[in-house]
Amino acid sequence: MSDALWYFARGSGVVSLVLLTVVVALGIGARSGRTAFSLPRFAVNLLHRNAALLAVVFLVLHVVGLLFDPYAQLRLFDLILPFAGNYRPLWQGLGTLGLDLMIAIVVTSLLRHRIGARAWRAVHWLAYLCWPVALMHGLGTGSDNGTVWLWAISLVCAAVVLAAVVWRLTPNFTRFPRRAKRLRLLEEVR
């Protein structure tokens, strides 16, 4: 049974990283105001939200699997305080930090209507920190950190986020394309 928990925890961690990559890329893409993948903007936002929820579910499965796995020997304390673990404290601490950041994002998202959009957005920016922390955690700890398949998945994830960031920084990325078009038309009329 312990081998099943170990494989389950490892797999759910990788799936969570892949989903978090999708969430970050969709989050960046949703800011353009343009349709992505021939989907209307509301569909992209819905996909972004559902992928984020699924990433959280797999993160919880990853953590719970490690808590009950006798090989990992993860303590409840290790989930709260970053960099205090017994096994590879830096890399495990990055995982704890990523979990803490994800909890902050989820809690503020659930309380968005009470705390306001500005406070929610400020905390939501932590997602951009959460992704590299999760990537480094995955590459630095665990029994798969030196395997080709994990590095390949991690490189694909990094390439996807890098492509989204590069696209975001290009002049063609228009935050509000309809507004920009209206402003151009107004300038031409003057």
The tally of domains found in the chain comes to 1
Q: What CA–CA distance (Å, rounded) separates 109 from 112?
A: 5
For 9-43, write each residue's pLDDT tens digit.
Answer: 999 999 999 999 999 998 887 776 666 667 777 88
> What pLDDT score does 1 carry?
56
The Cα–Cα gap between 102 and 59 comes to 9
Q: Distance of CA 90 to CAs 80, 81, 93, 155, 156, Å?
A: 14, 12, 5, 21, 24
pLDDT score for 74: 85
Mean local confidence (pLDDT), 174-187? 62
The pLDDT assigned to 39 comes to 75
Structural domain of residue 97, as residue ranges?
A: 2-189
Q: What does the DSSP assignment read for 119-133?
A: HHHHHHTTHHHHHHH
Residues 119-141, mean pLDDT to the nearest whole number: 90
